[in-house]
Amino acid sequence: MIAAALVPKLTCVLHHQASQDLLVAAKKIIGETIDNVSADLRKISIDLHENPEIGMQEYHAHQVLTDYLEGQGFKVTRSAAGLETAFIAEYSRGEGRRIGFCSEYDALPEIGHACGHNNIATAGLACAIAVKKLLEEGHTTGKVVLFGTPSEEPLDGKIHMVNKRVFQDNVDACMMLHPGNRNGNYYSGLAQHDFIVEYHGKPAHAGGAPWNGVNALDAICQAWVNVGLLRQQLQESDRVHGIITNGGQAANVVPDYTSGKFYVRAPSAARIEELKVKVENCFKAAALSSGCEMKLTWRKTGMCKEITQNELLAGAYGEYFQELGGGEMPPRFIQESKVMGGSTDFGNVSACVPGIHPGYSIHCESFPHTREFAKQAGTQVAHDATMLAAKALATVGARVLIEQEFYESVYKSWEAAVPPQFR
């Protein structure tokens, strides 16, 4: 009886040991595979860096990346999800879980790859190729998918793909890397929703008969003041900012049309919904006081959600990153206590499947979106840091495929972290 009772426990121990042995072997194969393609990926990184393309116009990058993936034996769908410059590359062997990675490749206007998306592109390639090697050699079963996600900077590529169920229907977890000036595996970003506002008034001669006009510039200026006063009552991590895109055409004419674009950011999608009501009232009040007609249009693809960093995936990444010599990670409580002012459309991916979006240093003192960071993103130093981080992330992906218990815990953690109404 005692021996019989021990059988399930012994089986569990043996199964765990087998998984650990597979993971040890996987780390070695991942490292060797990424080292073998590193020179190729460096050439691709330089090519993208020297030929920057803004969101939804990444035609060269799309061609370069998909051609390379086909050459590596992936089944590639170009112009996926109705987006000309999106793609899906996949490889499968047998039944099992499905792990996804993301590549980004759009640049910023004027300053090029100042967010390092040339490195994000090659990081995704490295991870996908390494996990494919594990599948090919029979170390595990399942599927690896690389999503080519355009137009991250305007925050809409992945949102469109999420709305088309590209991630939900194809993978059980999805991850990506982002270069920066520090390492981090728990940092999040703010949720964000933007809108365009237009005011319509009535023109008049500004000197001769201004009383005959309805001043649309007054309306948008009043809205600007209203938002400024609202900030006193906002929480420290809330953000409302924008620009006036049309303030009138002639100084001697009462403007009959003005427009602006504004962003609302907050730590969570739930808080965004609260803020939207307050902010809209600022603009409605300006229309009422000026006598103008107002049209306020929120971005139709929906809000950009905060990143939900899955604690188990993030913890595993941090462990493997440090094992590889990537450097120390700040303590989790410090990372989670900091307000990261930026936003990313990967937040929407992490709301529909478990995921992580860790950052890694490319050894640049300047922040992303600067000319200094753009220059550093094209260096060998940045590439080497990218390949190291990719080895760590690919190992996390391998663990998702190899260890059922690990993935089950990951999924439960994700369910607890993301409210059903925001998935």
pLDDT tens string for the chain (423 positions)?
Answer: 445 655 555 445 556 677 888 999 999 999 999 999 999 999 999 999 999 999 999 999 999 999 999 999 999 999 999 999 999 999 999 999 999 999 999 999 999 999 999 999 999 999 999 999 999 999 999 999 999 999 999 999 999 999 999 999 999 999 999 999 999 999 999 999 999 999 999 999 999 999 999 999 999 999 999 999 999 999 999 999 999 999 999 999 999 999 999 999 999 999 999 999 999 999 999 999 999 999 999 999 999 999 999 999 999 999 999 999 999 999 999 999 987 889 999 999 999 999 999 999 999 999 999 999 999 999 999 999 999 999 999 999 999 999 999 999 999 999 999 999 999
**What pLDDT shows up at residue 290?**
98
Predicted local confidence at residue 120, as pLDDT: 99
The residue behind tokens 């030929």 is 51
CA angle in degrees (0–180, nearest 5) for 37-38-43: 100
Residues 254, 248: Cα–Cα separation, whole Å = 8
Structure tokens at 112: 């090029």
Q: Measured between alpha carbons, how far is 175 from 115 in angstroms, rounded to an integer?
A: 18
Q: Which CATH class is domain 24-188+307-422?
A: alpha beta
**227 contact partners, CB below 8 Å, separation of at least 6:** 240, 242, 262, 279, 282
Type of residue at 163? N
Per-residue pLDDT, 10? 47
- Of the candidates 137, 264, 245, 143, the one whose C-alpha atom is nearest the C-alpha of residue 199 is 245
pTM for the structure as a whole: 0.93
Structure tokens at 310: 């899955």
Going by C-alpha positions, the residue among 178, 175, 177, 185 that lies closest to residue 100 is 175
Contact yes or no for 223/300 (Cβ under 8 A): no
Distance (Å, rounded) from C-alpha 322 to C-alpha 334? 18
- CA 264 to each of CA 222, 260, 280, 363: distance values in angstroms, whole numbers, following the listed order: 18, 13, 11, 31
Q: In which region does residue 143 sit, left (phi positive, over 0), alpha (psi from -120 to 50) or beta (all else)?
A: beta
Contact indicator for 145, 99 with CB cutoff of 8 Å: yes
What the block records as the tokens of 381 is 């130093």
- Phi, psi (5° rounding) for residue 363? 65, 55
Q: Which residue has the tokens 């001769």?
A: 208
**Residue 265 bridge partners (DSSP):** 192, 239
Q: Break the chain into its structural domains and give their ranges.
A: 24-188+307-422, 191-298
For the chain, the first-to-last Cα distance in angstroms comes to 47
191-298: CATH topology is Alpha-Beta Plaits (3.30.70)
Q: Can you point out the beta strands (E) in 328-408?
A: 355-356, 359-361
Sheet holding 355-356, edge to edge: 75-78, 87-93, 142-148, 98-103, 173-175, 355-356
Residue matched to tokens 């109705």: 82
Q: Could you tell me which of 302, 319, 55, 332 has the C-alpha nearest to residue 159?
A: 302
- Summarize the chain as % helix, strand, coil (round to 5): 50, 20, 35
Q: What is the per-residue burial (b if ≥16 Cβ within 10 Å, else e) of 162-188?
A: beeebbeebbbbbbbbbbbbebbbbbb
Distances (CA, A) of 308 to 2, 18, 102, 415: 45, 31, 16, 11
pLDDT at 9: 54
Residues 6+ apart with CB under 8 A from 8: none
Other CB atoms within a 10 A radius of the CB of residue 313 amount to 28
Chain CA centroid to CA 210, Å: 49
CA atoms of 315 and 225, how far apart (whole Å):
44
Alpha-carbon span 148 to 88, nearest angstrom: 6
